[in-house]
Structure 1
């Protein structure tokens, strides 16, 4: 009985000591990067459509589904910048920029995230394959690759599919230069995605019964 009385206080004290040591650990500061979509980077001029679009959060691997900025120093090897973050996890970041791209175009009646409650006619889904800085023979490139689908929102039927890819060289291998290259890549690929989606959605809408 005396042995039990001696050890029980120690057992309860261990978790508290552990928490205390964790609370005293100083967090390493990091920089948050928030890409901007240039309002001038709009898709090719075209007719305004009278349907609404829900943009779904892109699907991505666990590595890319993160606010950490990924780097591929050699093919097949992914690392992250230790002191840099995106403002949101990459899929959510891409979704918000895509929505902004449609808004900037001025060519659609209504657009928003799938969770916004929008009464959409069509949905845009994206499978995000690459969103990292790649080093090739020592030269850094910001790479964005994804597969996009336009679907009928009610039936979930796929209406069109296309692969998109953009590769922008970076001036250096640090996080700041990587961020600048990503902005260039995103300002090229998103207007292409917007224009393609509007064309495919309008083609389907024109063929729909009662259109």
Structure 2
């Protein structure tokens, strides 16, 4: 009995456990956009990029795949570095700033004021299994708002679909990054054209 107690105490002090220790998750991010639209004119306006609105399970850090039209599954062992809406917002801001299309681009946490706000709703940021393999889908509803009048200058819907080749994490990350680059480039061109025409 004394020997068993001493062994238990030794295991406790050594930090040992009979339960398996789970592997820490891999924290994933979108790759920076390789190409962004080159604008010949920098618009003299500041743009605030709001974090996209989203509902569960898109308002989470899970990397999602839909094996059917009725079900979402989270990929085990990996997650986004932040919630999906924040990952999309940061990707948009980085590309908007690199393009030089607007005089200033800020996040929605900035205390500064801006002339314009990019408002969006995220209704798709997941992989799908289909008859032709796995593909990544991004769905965005976009509005460019004049902050002085609170009027929507332009409204559009955008969808990006990119073949992933397989459901391997590395293939999915490449497909997510490619789809996000397409969506971001289209959003920047649309917003710049909208403001220039307005």
Compute the TM-score of the two structures, normalised by the length of structure 1: 0.81
Q: Is the CA contact 1:111–1:118 (under 8 Å) kept in the aligned structure 2?
A: no
Tell me if 1:37 matches 2:12. no
**Distance (whole Å) between structure 2 residues aligned to residue 70 and residue 43 of structure 1:** 29
Tell me if 1:150 matches 2:150. no
Q: Structure 1 unaligned runs (5+)?
A: 1-23, 205-211
Tell me if 1:134 matches 2:128. yes
Q: Which residue of 2 aligns with 1:70?
A: 64
Change (3 A) 1:180 1:121: same
- Rg: which structure is higher? 1
Q: Is the CA contact 2:136–2:175 (under 8 Å) kept in the aligned structure 1?
A: yes
In structure 1, which of residues 116, 123, 148 is the aligned counterpart of residue 117 of structure 2? 123
State which drifts further: 168-177 or 61-70: 168-177
**Distance (whole Å) between structure 2 residues aligned to residue 44 and residue 144 of structure 1:** 23
Residue 61 of structure 1 deviates from its aligned partner by 1.3
**Structure (1/2) with the larger helix percentage:** 1
Q: Structure 2 unaligned runs (5+)?
A: 1-18
SS of aligned partner of 1:189: helix
Say how many residue pairs are matched: 180
Q: Which residue of 2 aligns with 1:20?
A: none
Q: Output one character per residue of 1:18-68: Cα deviation in whole Å (capped at 9) or x when no partner.
A: xxxxxx883442211111222x41125332100000000000111001111
Residue 158 of structure 1 deviates from its aligned partner by 1.1
Q: Is the CA contact 2:39–2:100 (under 8 Å) kept in the aligned structure 1?
A: no
SS of aligned partner of 1:59: coil
Residue 126 of structure 1 deviates from its aligned partner by 0.6
Q: C-alpha root-mean-square deviation of aligned residues, in Å?
A: 1.5
**Distance (whole Å) between structure 2 residues aligned to residue 113 and residue 171 of structure 1:** 34
Q: Which residue of 1 aligns with 2:43?
A: 49
Give the alignment of 1:57-206 within 5 angstroms. 57-137=51-131, 139-204=133-198
Q: Is the CA contact 1:54–1:118 (under 8 Å) kept in the aligned structure 2?
A: no
